[in-house]
A = this chain, B = another copy of it.
Amino acid sequence: MGVAIIEASMTKFGQRDAWICELLAEAGKECMADSSVDPDDVEHLYVSNMASGEFEGRTGVMNALAHDLGVMPAYSERVDQTSSSGGAGMYEAWQSVASGASDMTLLVGGEKMTHRTTPESTDVIASITHPVEYKHGLTLPSFAGLTARHYLERFDAPRESLARVAVKNHENGVDNPNAQFQKEITIETALESPVVADPLRLYDFCPITDGSAAMVFTTEERAAQLTDDYVVVSGIGGATDTHVVHERDDPTIMGGVVESSKRAYEMAGLGPDDLDVAELHDMFTILEFLQLEGIGVAEQGTAWELAMDGDTAKDGELPINTSGGLKSKGHPLGASGVAQGVEVFEQLVGEAGPRQVEADIGLACNVGGFGNCVITTIMEATQ
């Protein structure tokens, strides 16, 4: 059965004076109101969230949200795939409609993180990694630093190419009122910011963020009855890579990105050349290169050239992270994959305002851990 998305919205991302349940309800209510879907029509409710219990001591957030939105007795469930929980929620929402289990599914992803200290937050995030690496201090930023060094040296890429990712995504974020940072930065600012994990510096990393995002899924048939502005999920696939990162054959190949995008392309009957816009998981600048290569837009070791040439800028050949990406929009773990979907949706239905590009086909790639779990989703415009 064809699956469509009829509405998508997100809250302001940043340091928010609201707890997880309030954040989820904010995006959920707005999305429901915008879609004109009655709470009684919702049959399944998915909440993408990695760690409400660890961050806030609150569990059962799907039940709380079902209560706050008045969608009972809809089925409700929490989906966790660490930082790709949002993408996993999109996959579950898709499956719920495609299997006939639900005709109307609401997905809300969210995370509340900024009330904890950075060491506390990063401790929760680092517990994704395998103990054999974790015990030696190999956290996600460390992997990013090691991978960036390897990539730059092996492919003779200039350090500036990574800075250009940060500069581009900050530039895009200026036009996104919901982004955590709405300020441009210069190449110099990026290159001279404090070292975090050599050769990566502060501006190569996404921030810690609070926020939520939501989408409404239904059948294509029902979507066409309800609205003119809907998109079709024409391809979606997920894949898992090794838990121990150093077991991977090549540190510059994200196997989960390669495999999940392959599945999504096959399902959609499309390829990388068909894409008009994409949201990639730029938790670290280096990941934008690895994903551009993983989804087949660039050959291995060449994505840095796209950044240097401006091909991934808003006015480039394939605009990447028009939303500002995780880098400037922010990265509330469970919300990020849903927010990627929100941006692609808005681009395809022509609601992206100053960020608007010409796009009929868009892709979102959401990454958990250091590529440990990945979901790739392809959406197509219907107008």
Contact = CB atoms under 8 A, between A and B. Distances in A.
A78 B48 CA distance: 10
B127 A59 contact: yes
A302 interface: no
B81 A79 contact: no
A78 to B, nearest CB: 4
A51 B51 CA distance: 9
Interface in A10-68: 45, 50-51, 53-54, 57-60, 62-64, 66-67
A311 to B, nearest CB: 29
B75 A243 contact: no
Given A63-B373, A81-B77, A58 B127 contact: yes
Contact of A373 (B62, B128, B241): B62
10 contacts: A59-B128, A64-B130, A67-B130, A67-B242, A76-B238, A76-B240, A92-B92, A94-B99, A95-B99, A95-B101
Interface of A: 45, 50-51, 53-54, 57-60, 62-64, 66-67, 71-82, 88, 91-92, 94-96, 98-101, 124-125, 127-130, 237-244, 255-256, 259-260, 368-369, 372-373
A48 to B, nearest CB: 10
Contacts of A238: 75-77
Nearest to A76: B240
B78 A239 contact: no
B75 A239 contact: yes
Give the copy number.
2
Contact of A54 (B53, B237, B242, B244): B53
A256 B373 CA distance: 32
Contacts of A45: 240
Nearest to A263: B75
Contacts of A58: 127
Given A53-B51, A80-B78, A255 B73 contact: yes
Contacts of A63: 82, 128, 240, 243, 368-369, 372-373
B79 A79 contact: yes
Top 6 closest pairs, chain A to chain B, by CB = A75-B238, A67-B243, A99-B99, A98-B99, A60-B128, A78-B80
A91 B64 CA distance: 20
Contacts of A98: 99-101
Nearest to A256: B73
